[in-house]
Amino acid sequence: MRVIVTRPPTSAARTAEKLTHLGHEPVLLPVSVPVHDPDAAADALALAHAALAITSAEAVRVLTDLDLSAHRDTPVFTVGETTAEAARQAGFRHVEAGPGDGEHLARLLAERGAEDILYLAGSPRAPGFEAGLRTAGLHFRTADVYAMRAVDWTEEQRASLHPFPDAVLLYSRETARRFFQRALPLLPEGSGRLFHVLCLSPQIAADVPQKDTIALHVADHPKEDELLLLLSSCAGTKIG
């Protein structure tokens, strides 16, 4: 299957490698790129905090050019093992991977009795994690350390939509909205083929347009490997 990968370049390269290994053809069509703000990260880290919360590996990448020697032993709580591994590679010694969404990570932090949490965040972002922290009565501070900036597709990238691919992988609600704003008018009608939309969570699926030509799939757990497993059930599916 030809599968659209909407992730930014660094993450997309890893996903493309997995897709190729599974026998699929990745079609790289990022809808946004990260713009890092290491100064904001440095300023945030300089203020007192007892724990770090990170919901995306992109936030860890912002830290790569900073001196983290004073923060190696700070407890770090992440959404998912991928972000946790990125934090470990950055040099943090005490990293705990929480479940794959912000709401569950907030519950984990409440269970751990975390205090004075510094949340290294991106913009835009889902509100669930911060809402969960407030509900739990946890004291936290948020620092926007990167922003996802929309990018236009090149002529070569637009050409990769002809013929239209078989599926797309979606990892966030903002990506879903941005992708369909551009791609929905290009979705072929009357071809007899379904376009398979694979979402990491039900929240993302809520932003997918309802059309007879779109087949919606949601991973049982918000992990990329489980998302990719869904592709096996999509091959050769037709309308009706």
Please write the tens of the pLDDT for every residue from 179-213: 999 999 988 887 678 999 999 889 899 999 999 89
* 144, containing H or E segment: strand 140-150
Task: Give the C-alpha separation, 103 to 172, whole Å.
Answer: 14
Contact 83, 60 (CB under 8 A): yes
Classify 169 as helix, strand or coil: strand
| Best mean pLDDT range from 45-49, 82-86, 155-159, 180-184 | 45-49
Residue 90 confidence (pLDDT): 97
Residue 57 confidence (pLDDT): 92
Determine whether domain 34-149 maps to CATH 2.120.10.30: no
Name the residue with higher pLDDT: 147 or 186. Answer: 147
Residue 234 confidence (pLDDT): 83
Name the residue with higher pLDDT: 232 or 168. Answer: 168
CA-based Rg of the chain, rounded to a whole angstrom?
19
> Mean pLDDT over all residues of the chain?
92
Q: How many CB atoms lie within 10 A of CB 56?
A: 25
**What pTM was computed for the model?**
0.84
Average pLDDT, integer, range 64-91:
95
pLDDT > 70 fraction of the chain, expressed in percent and rounded: 97
Name the residue with higher pLDDT: 92 or 220. Answer: 92
CATH topology of domain 2-31+151-233: Rossmann fold (3.40.50)
Average pLDDT, integer, range 111-140:
95
Average pLDDT, integer, range 3-22:
93
Q: How many CB atoms lie within 10 A of CB 9?
A: 12
Residue 191 confidence (pLDDT): 67
Residue 240 confidence (pLDDT): 43
Q: For residue 237, what pLDDT band results from cuts at 50, 70 and 90?
A: low
Range(s) within the chain of domains with CATH label 3.40.50.10090: 2-31+151-233, 34-149
Contact 29, 52 (CB under 8 A): no
